[in-house]
Amino acid sequence: MVALLSGCVTQTSGTPHQAASASTTSPSSGTATAPATTPIAFSDCSNSFNLSGAIPADRLTKLTVECGKLRVPQNYDRPNGATLSISVIKLHYTEQTDRIGSLLMNPGGPGGSGIFLAISEAGSIDVSILQHFDLIGFDPRGVGVSSPVACVSDAQKDELNGQNPNVLTAAGFAVAKASAAAVAAACSARFGTDLADYNTVETARDMDLIRAGVGDQSMNYLGYSYGTQLGSIYAHLFPSRIRVAVLDGAVNPDTDAITSFANQLQGFESAFDQFAADCVTKSPCKSLGNPRQVVYDLVKQTNITPLPSAKSGETRTAGSAIVLTGVLSALYSSDSWPTLGNALIQAKQGDAAGLFELADEYNERSDDGTYSNIYEANLTISCNDEAPGPTDAVIRSTATQWSTRYPMFGLWSATALFGCQAWQPIRHLLPAPSAVGSKPILVIGTLHDPATPYASTQALATALGSGVVLSWDGQGHTAYGRGSDCIDSKVNAYLIDGTLPPPNTVCPK
């Protein structure tokens, strides 16, 4: 992990860093221009997906599902140079009325697949949205099936995801540093200087070509988690093209990466306490006793003797990294708390199957042992967005602080501080996302969001200059489509009519 995944689909805005070096570049602010594009040629691709597993049958009969590809400049400073292929999906409701345009969406990450998000949203989003918008999903450059960054084997990912070296020891520090350097070297060897072109600013420019390619004059956008960062950079580059933009689970643009990472850790420690308070009141979870102590004991035990899994065909054993990944994975949504409780009960009985299931979902590992490329995509985009660093001294001091301040996740997470240390040196720092001149942008925050803490909500809205805050007194990561009729109705009204909620609106749990 470079950083904690910041969505059911995704990782935060990057890895801790220090001041920019001479090798760092930064995009200019203001309105960007995009190369001309031709319409995206879409064709039916409904047989390429298991749609019946994601979309109710009565709705599926009223949807067309088409895919297309768009060629974009690999580097927008060289618009006539090499290109990348961006994969796009369009879901159209055949009973559409009063069409407004297309709703482009991103699930977060960086590294999450917008293609699968669009399919998921088509199955669950209010029908009023389908009546006004085509749903447009895309895999951002470097992600999934859009010119993917692939430089780490599945076997290596199993090894990396299973590591939990103690970076407070000389040996553990050396292991973590060497592992990160080896990944960086492998990706540079595979892609060379092209690796630098996979970054958020270039992706935001791709989004404008997608907008034009589907025939829209203005942008309608829905972004979750890291998708709020991507959306805010789009608004910064193209403020006059925003019609509506929903940024749900805001990433704070004003916080340095180590502080942002630390805020996440505090969020997940608090989320675990919320899970534990619920657990001790319900069966069978309350049979655990003290859930936090159970996790501490499992970490200690599996650092010595990893746990086997009773799942048929599973040959892996779960060390402490799998234990902690599984726990953290379940904290993104309170809906997963019963699953976590059962997984911990199983683990106490010597079976890691439940923890593996949670960890594999988080790491996007399939039952056959293959992974998506979210590991490389997240690493690449996150590192390219950040200045080089941090130094060994900063990592040591930060790890020492985190080990006591965040007793469940701090020391384990400190290994991620090495992620960008040896990364390629050409960086593209994100501009401060001012979007003055754009139409109002709806920024949503969940009061008890562990992955994108609530304080980030007002910070992003203020930075944009056009942001309007909507809050939800709920738990878990992001708010729209999470079961709050209050949130959903206000977002739908904004998307369709541009109607904003009253200032300081807080929707109840």
Identify whether the C-beta of residue 323 lies closer than 8 Å to the C-beta of residue 165: no
Identify whether the C-beta of residue 20 lies closer than 8 Å to the C-beta of residue 431: no
Q: Is 449 a catalytic residue?
A: yes
Q: Is 92 a catalytic residue?
A: no
The DSSP 8-state label assigned to residue 417 in this structure reads: G
Match 């997470």 to its residue by tokens. 413
SS3 call for 301:
helix
Quick one: how many helices (H) and strands (E) in the chain?
A: 17, 12
Match 């660093």 to its residue by tokens. 389
284-289: long-range contacts, CB 8 A cutoff, minimum separation 24: 284/341, 284/342, 284/345, 285/337, 285/338, 285/341, 285/342, 285/345, 287/345, 288/341, 288/344, 288/345, 288/348
The one-letter amino acid at 428: H
Q: Which of 449, 456, 471, 488 is catalytic?
A: 449
Q: Which of 236, 333, 477, 488 is catalytic?
A: 477
Nearest Cα neighbor of 274 from 455, 470, 449, 412 is 449
Nearest Cα neighbor of 121 from 241, 231, 8, 203 is 8
Q: Which of 179, 225, 260, 334 is catalytic?
A: 225
Identify whether the C-beta of residue 13 lies closer than 8 Å to the C-beta of residue 415: no
Q: Is 147 a catalytic residue?
A: no
Nearest Cα neighbor of 447 from 476, 487, 467 is 476
Nearest Cα neighbor of 160 from 141, 179, 185, 133 is 179
SS3 call for 387:
coil
Cα 15 to Cα 11: distance, rounded to the nearest angstrom: 10
Neighbours of 274 (CB within 10 A): 16
Q: E strands within 406-466?
A: 427-428, 441-448
Catalytic residues: 225, 449, 477
